[in-house]
Each structure stands twice: as C-alpha cells, then as structure tokens.
A and B are shown apart, each in its own frame.
Chain A
Amino acid sequence: MTKTGLTLGPVLFNWSPDRLRDFYARIADEAEVDRVHLGEVVCGKRQPFTDGIWPELIERLQAAGKEVVLSTLALPYNPRERASVLDFCKAGELAEINDLTALPTVAGKPFLVGPFVNVYNEGAARFLAGRGATGICLPVELPIASVSVIAAALPEVEFELFAFGRLPLALSGRCYHARLHGLHKDGCQFVCDRDPDGLPVDTLDGQQFLAINGIQTLSNGVEAFCPTPVELAELGVRRLRLSPHTVDMVAVSRLYRALLDGRAGRAETLAAVKLLGLPGDLVDGFTRGQPGSARVEMA
C-alpha cells in the first residue's frame, strides 16, 4: 500500500507577510507534510501584501524537501485578479485551480483541482482528468458515498479530502468583515486581519454556528476527519488536507501522520487534536453522510 499523502492547504486567512514567513519556516523544518500549498485563494485585495513573499517561501519549502503547489484565487473577476491566476499557472510550479478561469491555461500539463471547483461526480472528475488533472481535492459537502464512487471510477487520479480545519462553506461578492464594521469592500481597511482564524458567528440563542473571513463563510466547527488507513483505502482516497489555523500546525501534522501510518488510533488522535486549543468544536458530519455541523463522536 502506498503511503497516504498529507497536504498543508493554503492559508485562508489574512495573515501578515511576517506571520506567513514565520509560519512556513517552521512548517519547512518540522511539519510532517509532504506537500504545501501557497497563495491567496480568498480575496484578491489581499494579494498585493503577500505576492512578494511567495518566491522565497517556495525556495525555503523546496529546500526542506516539500513539494510546493500554487493555489489560485477561488473567485477572480477583476483584470488584476485574473492576471494573477494566469501568472500562478505559468510560474512553473504545480498549480491548483480553484475556478475554471485557469483551466485553459493549465490544460495539457499536470495540474491539481481544489475544493472550490464543483466535482460532484465521476463525469466531472473524468473531464478534468482528461485535461491533465492528476489530483482532485473534492468539495467539502460531497457525501462520502459519492467519494468512493468517484475514486473507484478514476484510479489514476489522486483524490484528496479536506480533513482538518474550519470548513470553507461559501464565497460572496460581498465582504462580511467590511459589512460588520460598517464599511464597503472597496474601502475595507483590511479589517479581516483582526481574526486570524475567522470571526465566530453565533445564533441569537448563543449556538456556535459559522465564521466569517472577508468574503468567505466558514464553519465555526473544526473539521476533524480521522479515518483509519483501512477506511481510507476502502474509500480510494490517497491524500488528506490540513487547513492552516493559528494552532500548532506542526503538532496537527504529526498527529495525522501517525494516524495515517497506523501508529495511532482514531480515538487517541481525536483526543490529542482536541487538546490543541481549537477555535470550535470538532465536527465531521460531511464525512458520515450527515449535516456538516454534526459533531465528532469521540468513542
């Protein structure tokens, strides 16, 4: 059995260049992930702050033996954002497309498909594989029964599931951080940088529900999909994705690596993940055919 891959997904939040440099330096040296995604995927307005730091981070991570992937913006629409998507795809690294804007540019060479692209069936997966997709991180809401059907139909494609972090649930033309602060998106003052894990959204009855991150809405609950190696093999899934948060991601990567290598059990892993000081309760409903908000059963 080939070793299950472990990916560190792109940082979804508005972290400063200094924070990103420190974060990735430690990831390069210590994290037990074999692949790291770089790039701003949520908001084009944040790109000018981070565009300049990617080259040095690519070098740093590659020198540490990590495979680097450039993830493209999930909702590009203005000319600068569109140009950035195409530049990322031409940069020479493996690209992950999060919108079909990039497809004509990457078609014909190997590329990855991110969880923001709607792959709900084997037909869509086959179509993308036919254009060069070698790996597909499936949409977070996709029922587990569909995952195994799709993976079985395309054994040549490496399928990946979102396994750790607040779930990316929706994108909008509107910035909710700006709206909450009485601002418009065009004059947002980048207030989303105050919430490096997203800002919790509770119901009027105090239930923890969602989180906002600029134009993005995430779950408040933290996905913690902790399958056994046998379960993953049965699903046909060959890679899991960890989504960066301010918790100790090196520790998260070690826990998942041990789980995937069969060195730790599910209950033990979940208990350890829970102790890390996460921003929300552990959920895994989507991977059990339940509402995504269904909590992890620890037993």
Chain B
Amino acid sequence: MSLELVCPAGTPSALRAAVEAGAHSVYCGFRDETNARNFPGLNFSPDELVEGVRFAHAHGAKVLVAINTFAKAGAMDAWKAALANAEKAGADAVILADLAVLDHAATHHPNLRLHLSVQAAAATPEAIAFYADTFGVKRVVMPRVLSVEEIAKLNAAINVETEAFVFGGLCPMTEGRCSLSSYATGKSPNLTGVCSPPEHVAYTEDRNGTATRLNGFTIDRFGAGEQAGYPTLCKGRFVAGGKTSYLFEDPVSLNAASLIAALAKAGITALKIEGRQRGKGYVTEVVRTFRAAVEAIDAGGTEVEVGRLLAGLVEGGRQTSGAYKKTWR
C-alpha cells in the first residue's frame, strides 16, 4: 500500500494548489477557535468547505477537517457545529483531540471517520486502544516524541492507522500538553488554537539591534542587519545555568524526508506536511516534491534518488529530523 500524503490547506486557494500538486489528502479547519491554527486570514467558512470537498473529490483527493482544540466550558456549540458542518460538507474524516468532542462525534455522527489529533498526545498502545475502542478512532497522528524505532514497535501493538509529520514547523514540546504560550500571553493552542499570538508580538529597536518580544518577555535579540525571526516562545534564546542558548529548540523546522522509507517500513500509513499558515506557492512546491519522493519510494527508488528530489527543499532555513532520531532528545 502506497503512503498517503496529507497536505495543509490554510485557505481554499491552498487547498486547490495542494490537490493539483498531487496531495492524496488535504487537511483544513473552520475559521474559528475549533482548530489549532486559528490565525487571522486563514481557514474555511462552512460554504468554502463544501466547495473545497467538491473540488478535492473531483480530483480524487480526500479532505480531513481539523476540529482539534479543546472545547470551551459551557460553550461547546461551536465544536458541535463544526462536526455537523464537516459531515454535511462530505469531509472524509475529522481530526479531534478533546474527549468531549470525540464523545459527541461518536454518539451523534456515527458515520464520520475519526482521526486522533497530535494534540491528544496518545503515545502508548494502551492510550491508542482506548481511543479506538471507545470512540472508533481509525487513525492516530503520532506525537512528536517518538523515534522511528518506537513508532515501529507501537504500530506492531495497535490496529489503527498512524500518520506522522515529516515536514514544516516543529514543536519541541509534546503537543496538547503545553501552556507556555498562555503563561506569557493568556492564549495557547489548547485554549484558543494559537501559540505565541501575533497581537502580543513586538519588535523593538535599540542601540544593540532588535529585540523580539512576546507580551513583554524577550524571546530573542538580533544584531543590526540580521533578520529578526518571529518570536515563537520555544524557539527563543534564553539564559540558564549561566549559558545563553536556544535552550528548547534551535530556530529550525522539521524535515524527515530522508526517513520516509524508514517510516513506511515502521508501518506508517500517512505522511503529514505542516503549514496551514503557508501560501499556495510554498504548498505547491513542497507537495509536488514529496509526491515525487513517495512515488520514487513506491517504485523501489534508492535513498540517493529521493534525496536528490528533496534537495531543493533542504536549502534555506535550518532543518532537523526531530525526535525520529533518538539523539534529538
């Protein structure tokens, strides 16, 4: 069975770009706090989703709808509406994390296929079996704490599909278990679907260059002439034990392209590309390249050939294969 390529669609135009570039599936969310990329200018209205699903299906691609935040107490209507709208649009699956949302979906939308979001952080056979047995979850997105060897062992012990991130933004923290952003700003992925939110970001120039701050906390400093990066909290430079360093993670992104064959051997069903905040040009290039790599692997291509295909993507920003290699820890 060929690997399924799951690609980001932050907007209807990115959806069309991803499908045309060869995505087997795209994932997207509604324009509200029900999804973990709740940024201005992104996401879909219910009508746009209907149109997006129609377009994807006409091209043989699937649409997965991320409803992967934790419902607000006393205000679950938005999450219920998102499930109903996803089913009405003909979505092929919804990606969920919250027990309440999973319970509601399993009870009221028995025909909706359920995937477990990385935000649920299910990393053991026992936890995964619980979600599969209780809610009928069919696929689990792997928490980014597992090595390839551990994913292989996990897949041998479970009987649901697994999906692994291979490219794009990288959280060094276990997703769905991180309140760093709300400690600094009051907003976080679990609470409001955002991390290090733009309305709390400030770039301040002084005689030493530029400081990037998040609600007043300095996340990094850049010299004159250096390009100041976005102050994502866990990618900042801090001082601990007398040392100044990128303590949590360097300003890198994930690129596990060299591990695609190993992930396939480890039993992964689908490869996921992060980047719903990215434009359609980026999406087109990354999706086309990964599709070619997946096909080369299917055809028995060597790592060298696959490496050559992906070489163009490796240039530019710094990259890491993250937790898939044990030395990252």
In which size bucket is the chain B interface? 35 or more
Does the CB pair A204–B179 fall under 8 Å? Answer: no
| Shortest beta-carbon distance from B97 to chain A in Å | 8
Does the CB pair A141–B191 fall under 8 Å? Answer: yes
Note all chain A residues with C-beta closer than 8 A to B97.
118
Note all chain B residues with C-beta closer than 8 A to A122.
73-74, 100
Instruction: Tell me which residues from 42 to 81 in chain B have a Cβ below 8 Å from any Cβ of chain A.
Output: 70-74, 76
In which size bucket is the chain A interface? 35 or more
Main SS of chain B's interface residues? mixed
Does the CB pair A141–B188 fall under 8 Å? Answer: yes
Instruction: Tell me which residues from 179 to 208 in chain A have a Cβ below 8 Å from any Cβ of chain B.
Output: 179-181, 184-186, 199-207
| Shortest beta-carbon distance from B305 to chain A in Å | 31
Q: Bound complex: CA of A130 vs CA of B194, how far in Å?
A: 31
Is the CB of B32 closer than 8 A to any CB of chain A?
A: no
A82-125 interface code vs B (CB 8 A; 1 in, 0 out): 10001000000000000111111100000000001011111110
| Shortest beta-carbon distance from B230 to chain A in Å | 16
**Residues A100 and B72 in contact in the complex (CB < 8 Å), given A127-B103, A174-B328:** no
**Binding-face segment, B13-21, B85-93, B123-131, B258-266:** B123-131
**Residues A292 and B146 in contact in the complex (CB < 8 Å), given A170-B177, A184-B327:** no
Does the CB pair A286–B182 fall under 8 Å? Answer: yes
Does the CB pair A146–B72 fall under 8 Å? Answer: yes
**Binding-face segment, B238-246, B280-288, B309-317:** B238-246
Is the CB of B218 closer than 8 A to any CB of chain A?
A: yes
Is the CB of B138 closer than 8 A to any CB of chain A?
A: no
Which B-chain residue is minimally distant from A79 (CB atoms)?
B153
Is the CB of B186 closer than 8 A to any CB of chain A?
A: yes
Q: Bound complex: CA of A76 vs CA of B124, how far in Å?
A: 7
A146-157 interface code vs B (CB 8 A; 1 in, 0 out): 110110000000
Note all chain A residues with C-beta closer than 8 A to B203.
none
Which B-chain residue is minimally distant from A206 (CB atoms)?
B239
Is the CB of B323 closer than 8 A to any CB of chain A?
A: yes
Does the CB pair B243–A180 fall under 8 Å? Answer: yes
